[in-house]
A and B are shown apart, each in its own frame.
Chain A
Amino acid sequence: MISDFIASWDLFFEPYALTLLSAALLSLIGVVTAARRQVFIAAAVAQASTLGYALFTLLIGVGTLPAAIRDVVCVAAAVLAAVLTMLYGSSRREGARLDADELTAAVFLLGGAGSVLALARAPAGMEQLRRLQASSVIGATTLDVVLFAVLLVAAAVFVILRHRALVLVLSDPVMAAAVGMRLRVWNIALAVTCGLALGLAVISTGALYAFATLALPVMVAKHFCGQVRDLFWAAPLVAVATVLVGLFLAYVWDLPPGQLIATLLCAWLGLAVVARRVWDALAS
């Protein structure tokens, strides 16, 4: 069975590779979104990208745009939404009426409702929306794989070189400014990176999978790590291991891999919580 699965890599190399690479990348980025209390951002970004596409279609008045343009618009809208939400979150003011999570919820709802409204009367509008929302990795191309590989390597190198600065800017922006880090540049760079990775992931792997690999691995890893720094390798490790198991089981049982991987991650989370409790009980 395992050899069958390994043999299937030849056939499905791009989808498999994309699933792995995007999980590794998003779980890395998930550490930053968790530190900033912006876990739901992936869900909102997913919806915002469809809204961006829907509005663009409505404005241009064309029912069917070429897929390439559609993707560019979606990514642009996703990046914009992520940047705005993250910048708002990082400049959170005391006494402000909205926190980052609430704003994210509003973006999520606006994206979901607005995109349907915008395309409800367009010819074949709903059909297109459905296609966008139910995207899967089956159509993955070599370009997707290369793109995610490049982003992953860039993100990993950055974390390895600058993890201490990253921890400082996440924990204490004022001290970061005091020691000469440029806050504005950091905030925008982090927001753009998250938006870009998420926007691309939502379009090539689907919102559920993107959200699951962003939010869950860090939640699992956190039960076994004592430092933020360790999360940067532990979360991707959890993600990659789960994807490998998930792909295998999906192949064996002929189930959709994205949903299976998300479910597995939730199962690990449950196990991690229990294991940690037991460990703590034994230690004390």
Chain B
Amino acid sequence: MSDSASSSAPAAAAAPAPDAPGHGSDRPLFALRQASLGYGRHIVLRDVDLEVHAGEFWCLLGPNGEGKTTLIKTLLGALRPRRGAAYRDPEMFRRGRVSYVPQRLELNPVLPTSVREFVLSGLVGVKADATRRRGRLERVLSLVGLTGSVSRNYWTLSGGQRQRAMVARALIRDPRLLVIDEPTAGLDFAAARAVLDVLEDLHKTYGVTIVFVTHELATAQRYASHVALFRGGVVTAGAKAQVATDQALERTFGVPVSVSMGQGLGLGLGQGPGPGLASGTELEAGA
């Protein structure tokens, strides 16, 4: 699609794009104004106001079926708001610097697909010759710990390995905006930790904007700069300190939650780097 889409992350880091953090552009990458989202006549979310700016790290939190995936589909342009307006930064989306890790895949599992083919499908619209494609493939596969599985049938992977392959597919196009629907669901402790570390590194080092659905408060607590809470068709969104209060979390989940306790909930991630996945800095080394 564009040459810039094929430039590597470190190159982008060396010469920060205007959307890199600290460049304080006021224009959001994505915004909803008084938007109602849903499917056909079924409205899932009402009057949503939300702005995602470059360099932010968003966590979407809420019980099952509250519309987190629906909001993500709208963000990515796969769904149009039923009412109200959705704005998407034309530059970012036209240049294809957006990537997505879905909650699950729609491909018919009776069709064979290899890890290689699956991950490379993330390069659609990116100009890259065969050597470059191979380089990128190796880099992202080592990042998610799937190097040895490149020729394997995707459908013979375990749930967690598939999740890693989906993360690899998203990373292979060096996104500036990465949208992830429950990236750590089904991952073992170390793998979940490693995926989160990669995200944190992308965010901190390269200024990649991240929008992230999770059910783990500890994860939100640790990584997010912004939070959106989903409850009863209403989205409360903003900076983490303002939005993720004890009362708001309790209202959202219907059980008493303490922000400080959030650390102890969910995965209860430990501190040490997880084995199995290399640290995110390899993205730089491999480029």
Binding site for B on A (CB under 8 A): 31, 34-37, 93, 164-165, 167-168, 170-181, 183, 222, 225-229, 231
| Count of residues in B whose CB is under 8 Å from the partner chain | 38
Decide: A180 and B125 in contact? CB cutoff 8 A: yes
Decide: A226 and B124 in contact? CB cutoff 8 A: no
B155: shortest Cβ distance to chain A, in Å?
11
Decide: A180 and B96 in contact? CB cutoff 8 A: yes
Partner among B73, B93, B121 whose Cβ is within 8 Å of the Cβ of A167: B121
Tell me whether A173 and B124 are in contact in the complex, defined as CB-CB below 8 angstroms, given that A93-B39, A227-B117 are known contacts: no
Contacting residues, chain A, for B72 (C-beta < 8 A) = 174
Majority secondary structure of chain A interface residues (helix, strand, loop or mixed):
helix
Tell me whether A171 and B124 are in contact in the complex, defined as CB-CB below 8 angstroms, given that A177-B77, A178-B99, A225-B112 are known contacts: no
Q: A174-B100, A183-B78, A222-B111 are in contact. List 5 more A-B contacts (CB 8 A).
A: A165-B125, A167-B121, A168-B122, A179-B98, A227-B113
Q: Is B1 an interface residue, CB under 8 A from the partner?
A: yes
Interface centre among A174, A176, A226, by most chain B C-beta atoms within 10 angstroms, is: A174
Look across to chain A and name the residue whose beta carbon is closest to the beta carbon of B76: A178
Look across to chain B and name the residue whose beta carbon is closest to the beta carbon of A92: B106
Contacting residues, chain A, for B15 (C-beta < 8 A) = none
Contacting residues, chain B, for A34 (C-beta < 8 A) = 108, 110-111
B38: shortest Cβ distance to chain A, in Å?
11
Question: 0/1 per residue, B70-82, Cβ < 8 Å to A?
Answer: 0011001110000
Contacting residues, chain A, for B151 (C-beta < 8 A) = 226
Decide: A180 and B107 in contact? CB cutoff 8 A: no
Question: 0/1 per residue, B92-105, Cβ < 8 Å to A?
Answer: 01101011101001
Decide: B113 and A178 in contact? CB cutoff 8 A: no
Decide: A167 and B113 in contact? CB cutoff 8 A: yes
Decide: A180 and B93 in contact? CB cutoff 8 A: yes
Tell me whether A226 and B78 are in contact in the complex, defined as CB-CB below 8 angstroms, given that A164-B120, A175-B122 are known contacts: no
Q: Is B8 an interface residue, CB under 8 A from the partner?
A: no
Partner among B39, B78, B108, B111 whose Cβ is within 8 Å of the Cβ of A177: B78
Partner among A37, A164, A229 whose Cβ is within 8 Å of the Cβ of B108: A37
Task: Report how far A174 CA is from B107 CA in the complex, Å.
Answer: 12
Decide: B173 and A179 in contact? CB cutoff 8 A: yes
A198: shortest Cβ distance to chain B, in Å?
19
Interface centre among A178, A222, A226, A228, by most chain B C-beta atoms within 10 angstroms, is: A178
- 26 A-B pairs, CB-CB below 8 angstroms? A31-B111, A35-B108, A36-B108, A93-B39, A164-B123, A164-B124, A165-B125, A168-B124, A171-B105, A171-B113, A172-B106, A174-B78, A174-B100, A174-B102, A175-B169, A176-B124, A178-B77, A178-B98, A178-B99, A179-B98, A180-B98, A222-B112, A226-B151, A227-B117, A228-B113, A231-B112
